[in-house]
């Protein structure tokens, strides 16, 4: 079945999904109608996208499937403008709004079958993770179609909605935490005498290689840590300093804080 997609809000997350979907041919440009808030944004983005893009929200809301990607604080205003009039049967509303529950979506958009999606930005390079939680009205064939769409940009995990806040904190906020670690490691290498460009290249490659090793050999992180930690060596000296600085606790609290903020946004 050919479905049209309306994209309400073309921010970074929506772009990270839409670009691979178009590039892979999963959606054709004439199937997609994107809407942004201002004419200035439309003029800036339109040359970068082959699909229809403008400020007329009605065009996006007429689609079979709507990807809702505005800021959570804009939700009530967007819902009021969209209206609740029923459209063609089988229409899906897929929200990527942090913390906004299915119950709230279904109350604001009673004519739609609602889905919560929690993707992350590595979707842009087809290495993403997406958690999906479905409203009760979403049918099996619709779930299958959505999972195939998100699978094109990474791994998909259908989850109970109660687990989405923790999933978001780890996978959606997590890339920022990892990027901070990469930057700090590169800064350390510069302090140790390496040129900046080389330090960044090596930090990125070290993180990528470590992640690949953990995943492909199904190692517990503690196993990999012990593999590279020799008695009295350089690694244990560095690990002692990280423990003194509270890195482990800081990362734990960062994930917990992100999950709590997701719950607050609801």
Rounded to a whole number, what is the distance in angstroms from the first to the last CA of the chain?
Answer: 34
Q: Taking a C-beta distance cutoff of 8 angstroms, is the pair 158, 133 a contact?
A: yes
Q: Does domain 172-265 have CATH number 1.10.1040.10?
A: no
**122 contacts 129 by C-beta, under 8 angstroms:** yes
Measured CA distances, 126 to 69, 152, 168, 201 (Å): 19, 7, 18, 21
Q: What is the DSSP letter of 176?
A: H
**Nearest residue to 100 (alpha-carbon basis) of 112, 115, 84:** 115
Q: Are 93 and 105 in contact (CB under 8 A)?
A: yes
- pLDDT reported for residue 85: 47
Closest residue by Cα to residue 99 from 155, 169, 150: 169
CA distances to 13, 63, 65, 239 from 8, in Å: 12, 11, 11, 46
Q: Which two tokens mark 102?
A: 């299915």
Buried b (16+ CB within 10 A) or exposed e, 241-257: eeeeeeeeeeeeebbee
- Of the two residues 91 and 242, the one the predictor is more confident about is 242
pLDDT of residue 77: 86
pTM of this structure: 0.89
pLDDT digit string (tens) for 220-236? 999 999 999 999 999 99
Pick from 25-34, 84-93, 246-255: least confident? 84-93
| Whether the Cβ atoms of residue 36 and residue 45 lie closer than 8 Å to each other | yes
pLDDT tens, 173-201? 999 999 999 999 999 999 999 999 999 99
What pairing do the DSSP bridges indicate for beta strands 65-68 and 92-95? parallel
Residue 89, pLDDT score: 52
Strands 128-134 and 113-118: antiparallel
- Could you confirm whether domain 5-161 is CATH 3.40.50.720? yes
Each residue's pLDDT tens digit, 52-78: 888 888 888 989 999 999 988 888 888
CA distance 181 to 254: 13
Q: What is the mean pLDDT of residues 132-160?
A: 95
Distance, in Å, from the CA atom of 12 to the CA atom of 142, rounded to the nearest integer, reads: 25
Parse the chain into domains and list their residue ranges.
5-161, 172-265
Phi-psi domain of 246 (left: phi exceeds 0; alpha: psi -120 through 50; beta: other): left
d(C-alpha 21, C-alpha 145), whole Å: 13
């Amino acid at each position: 079945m050919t479905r049209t997609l309306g994209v309400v809000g073309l921010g970074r997350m929506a772009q990270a999904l839409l670009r691979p979907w178009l590039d892979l041919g999963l959606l054709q440009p004439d199937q997609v109608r994107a809407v942004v808030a201002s004419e200035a944004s439309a003029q800036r983005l339109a040359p970068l996208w082959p699909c229809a893009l403008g400020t007329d929200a009605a065009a996006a809301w007429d689609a079979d499937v709507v990807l809702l990607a505005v800021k959570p604080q804009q939700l009530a205003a967007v819902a009021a403008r969209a209206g609740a009039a029923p459209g063609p049967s089988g229409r899906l509303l897929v929200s990527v709004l942090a913390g906004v529950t299915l119950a709230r979506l279904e109350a604001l958009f009673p004519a739609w079958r609602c889905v919560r999606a929690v993707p992350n930005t590595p979707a842009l390079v087809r290495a993403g993770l997406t958690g999906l939680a479905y409203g009760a009205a979403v049918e099996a064939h619709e779930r299958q179609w959505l999972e195939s769409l998100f699978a094109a940009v990474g791994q998909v995990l259908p989850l109970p909605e109660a687990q989405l806040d923790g999933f978001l904190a780890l996978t959606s906020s997590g890339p920022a935490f990892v990027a901070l670690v990469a930057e700090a490691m590169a800064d350390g290498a510069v302090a140790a005498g390496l040129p900046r460009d080389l330090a960044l290249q090596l930090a990125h490659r070290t993180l990528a290689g470590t992640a690949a090793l953990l995943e492909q050999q199904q190692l517990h992180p503690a196993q990999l840590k012990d593999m590279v930690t020799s008695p009295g060596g350089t690694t244990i000296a560095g690990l002692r300093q990280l423990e003194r600085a509270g890195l482990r606790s800081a990362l734990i609290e960062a994930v917990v804080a992100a999950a709590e903020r997701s719950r607050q946004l609801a």
